[in-house]
Amino acid sequence: MPVTIAPPEIAIEPRRSHGGPNGGDRWGGDDSRGRGDSNGRNFETSPQAYHLGMMLGLASVLMLFVALSSAYVMREGQGQDWLPIAMPSLLLPNSFALLLSSLTLELSRRSLKRQSVGSLQGWLTVSALLGMIFLAGQLTIWRALAAQGIYLGSNPHSSFYYVLSGAHAVHMIGGLIALGYLVCRAWQSNRVTQTALEVTALYWHFMDGLWVYLLLLLFAWR
């Protein structure tokens, strides 16, 4: 009798849907991305993991500025060579631009929650422009001080001003790069995730608050 051999059955695992054609929510959804290894196991990074990573990074930044602040206070109390410099006239308007950028960034977050494409693009762009204005203003202030003969090594107060404001500007550049990336995503593909915007906003607001603290330390602390 002829023997009939049935073909083997193959089980096909259905693909997981992530809410969009490219594997992620278009507006403000959970942007956890699945990653697999050679054995086909999937790993996902939760939004909480991104927030935790940012908090740890900000903790290290905070420790740096706490150390610099402690050195500032200790040095001020030593010797008679401490000559306080006057607050540059552009410093307060420039600081206001930075604080205003935090407001526009919050408006960006609200626009994302409402899935308002135009508002999100506009407020993100304004936030990035304000950040660039602040950095340009810092450079202008440093040049103005140099024109007055106030340099890094002129006296301890001017030295700490350059060091503290310079360290803050370097960290602001990092935040501006992240914000610029979100602006490009918003305008080119309309794909900005809630987690990416929230983590960037957390970093940006921290830098704003840190700058207010530095202003009080440098010019109000006596």
Q: What is the pLDDT of residues 38-88, one digit of tens each?
A: 454 444 578 899 899 999 999 999 999 999 999 999 998 886 788 999 999
In order of 6, 45, 193, 205, the CA distances from 49 in angstroms are: 49, 6, 15, 19
Nearest residue to 75 (alpha-carbon basis) of 146, 150, 161: 161
**What is the reported pLDDT for 57?**
96
- How would residue 222 be classed by pLDDT, with cut points 50, 70 and 90? low
Give the H/E segment covering residue 34: strand 34-36
CATH of domain 45-72+90-219: 1.20.120.80
pLDDT at 26 over 80: no
pLDDT value, residue 21: 39
Total residue length of the chain? 222
H-type alpha helices, the chain: 47-76, 91-113, 117-147, 156-188, 194-219
Amino acid 174: pLDDT:
96
213 vs 24, more confident: 213
Q: Which residues contact 118 (CB under 8 A, 6 or more apart)?
A: none
pLDDT tens readout for residues 91-147: 999 999 999 999 999 999 999 999 899 999 999 999 999 999 999 999 999 999 999
> What pLDDT band is residue 198 in, cutting at 50, 70 and 90?
very high
- What percentage of the chain reaches a pLDDT higher than 70? 79
Q: What is the mean pLDDT of the chain?
A: 84
For the entire predicted model, the pTM comes to 0.80
The number of beta carbons lying within 10 Å of the beta carbon of residue 151 is 13
Question: What is the phi/psi pair of residue 80, to 5°?
Answer: -110, 10
3-class DSSP assignment, residue 117: helix
Q: Is the separation of the CB atoms in 201 and 109 below 8 Å? A: yes
